[in-house]
Structure 1
């Protein structure tokens, strides 16, 4: 069984085309800006769901996917439930449905390896390139995330690199330049997505009696987003602000 938090039909922000987005329960990171704090706990208020039910939903929505669309697994952290997802991924492939995994890349084992091998596209979230700042932002190291990126490159697995631009936490010229220098020769990176920092999940913290740690952080200005885009464009050709 798969622990599902929620679904989004006709999604256009999590991978190419129109997609069914499945938000899964459980996460190994503790990002200060997490927009879905209710998905962090391994159980939460999620519903145990049979793989066949998700497959049925994806097949029913397939007419809307067009040539580019498909299903995206987000969270939480999808690889948190890698073992349970593998049979579903195999069924989705047999049904000809494009599979996308949105991951922080921070979990690695044989199940994760198989899961990412079955995926058509990986959305890899690099929270910060500087490990010390990454630990402040997520309470975890980025070492495995960078190893996961290297594995994707070695295995010619297409991926999008996603970067949330948080003023004072992940918006440092030297860190973006270091990231660009590290990844500039990767052939498997299809695009860079800059995700503007937002506070859409703050009401969830209030409802859960949790303190939102970044309440004094302001959302990005258009000028900041342009500056970040220009920095990334020094190293990559396809840079988008999502």
Structure 2
């Protein structure tokens, strides 16, 4: 049974991480090194709260199954980067069945194979796109956005556009409202229509 390191589990989240009542399961580990990381624990060598195998996690979260079923909710995998844990998520789906909604909060900056392996497993995607501008993205995350764009195109080609919410944050010192407008325009041209627009709280704008 696959085991994965977690930084935490948060229960009874209502319409925060997807539809209905959800439990957020946050994985340790991320391919990005964002300047203002929202979950720095996911990068810290000492950040692992607990390691679970799929069966242990299922038993932990199934206590809220009635809430999931009544609200069309389920489990949201975040982190860190949940799509680094494809085997774990696939095995978890086998345990929980098809009635729970599985959502991933992801940067999509992973190999295409990771997306392909979960295409029949994941119901919804909350994608933190940062910014569509390649230079801005690399300056902020430390990586280029080639994987992000390729994976987003792949999901759209697989008719998943309606299951994707893209987060388009204003990141002080890195992009502007006009940059976000441009990112949203490009994403709409690709077929994305659901956006979460907000401003990062950073040490410079507290």
Map of 1:32-181 to 2, 5 A cutoff?
A: 32-41=35-44, 44-65=47-68, 66-92=70-96, 94=97, 96-157=99-160, 158-173=163-178, 175-181=179-185
**Tell me, what secondary structure is at the counterpart of 1:105?**
coil
- TM-score, with structure 2 as normaliser: 0.88
Q: Give the superposed CA RMSD.
A: 2.0
Query: Which residue is equivalent to 2:6?
Result: 4
Q: Give the deviation of 1:186 after TM superposition.
A: 4.1
Larger radius of gyration: 1
Counterparts of 1:105 and 1:25 in 2: how far apart (Å)? 16
> Is 1:218–2:205 an aligned residue pair?
yes
Q: Give the deviation of 1:119 after TM superposition.
A: 0.4
Counterparts of 2:90 and 2:78 in 1: how far apart (Å)? 15
- Which stretches of structure 1, 4 residues or longer, exceed 3 Å deviation after superposition? 41-44
Question: CA deviation digits over 1:184-238, x for unaligned, max 9?
Answer: 1444x35211133124xxxxxxxxxxxxxxx3x215xxxxxxxxxxxxxxxxxxx
- Contact 1:55-1:88 at 8 Å conserved across structures: yes
**Tell me, what secondary structure is at the counterpart of 1:177?**
helix
**Tell me, what secondary structure is at the counterpart of 2:198?**
strand
**Tell me, what secondary structure is at the counterpart of 2:194?**
strand
Unaligned runs of 5+ in 2: none
Unaligned runs of 5+ in 1: 200-214, 220-242
